Structure 1
Amino acid sequence: MMISNQGMQKSNSNLNCDCGCKNQRCTSKSKNSKKQQKEKILFVCAHNKRRSIMAESFAKYEGLDAYSAGLEKGENYEVDEMVILVMDELGLPVKQKSDTIDEIMDKIKGVDILITMGCIGACPYVPAKKHIAWEFEDPKGKDIHFYRKIRDEIEIKVIELSEILNEYE
């Protein structure tokens, strides 16, 4: 089920928060009754300010073990405010500070699936079972409608990924 605003109904009847925050879309528990994925997924874009941040949030909502990183730190280490806004429209939280690949790899100690988001040529080699390239235009400097368009495209890809991974549980 999509949660975007584009003609799809939002349903939160299957969502139950287990952390006590009462947010219908809290990512602390998957909306699916299936167990959490074992694969660690890392989404990478240039600065970890826009595309990879959105992908991580959607993936966590889908119950995946997801992280995001950039090739280098974004300005002030902060996530793009437009990303926070368009994800908040769906009730989905995003992390507030960007991470580099090195920082996140130190934290998670390895990754199973690496997904680049428009930076495949610039991405250093990161050992992973699977490398996937998703091409999304960077919405930097565009209007809110473009941010929503990219957000919705990312959501579709993450849902497809989740469905594929759930087939093999």
Structure 2
Amino acid sequence: MKPHQLVLLAASCCSVLLASVAMAMQASPPKEASPIYGVTLPDGYRQWQLIAPAQEGAPLNELRAVLGNRTAIKAYQSGAQPFPDGTVLVKLAWKHEQSPEFESASIPGDATTVQVMVKDAKKYASTGGWGYGRFVRGKPADEAQHKTCFACHEARAKARDYVFTRYAP
């Protein structure tokens, strides 16, 4: 092989290798979706704005924080109901424990779940326009748990577009 052919071959191999590396770096493993609804954990949700904290009593005994994407925050601030498509709410939950420093305070203990609600009136028409996801350690809970989501929201929060959480400005 002539020298200029070797240079062309090497350049071609480098181009293929660089393209393969770039594609591999961009590819991420597929997200696991909730059964029934196909909801996934949203990217960057831990940086979203707080909508409201809550404390759940027995038997769950949890501390909770509900976060919302920009669409959710705008809807809460303007009082828009029903919530617009594109609204995403994320509830973080932890077991609450007694603070070792302050006897009157509870602190987050073990994380229990991350729950997600996604508003898409067409896609989730049969469930009030909302899709649900419940995740434990980043993995979706089973189908039986997801079957309880809409029934609970329908029974208790239908008048508020199936959303329990009220904005805490």
TM-score by shorter chain over 0.5: no
TM, length-normalised to structure 2: 0.23
TM, length-normalised to structure 1: 0.23
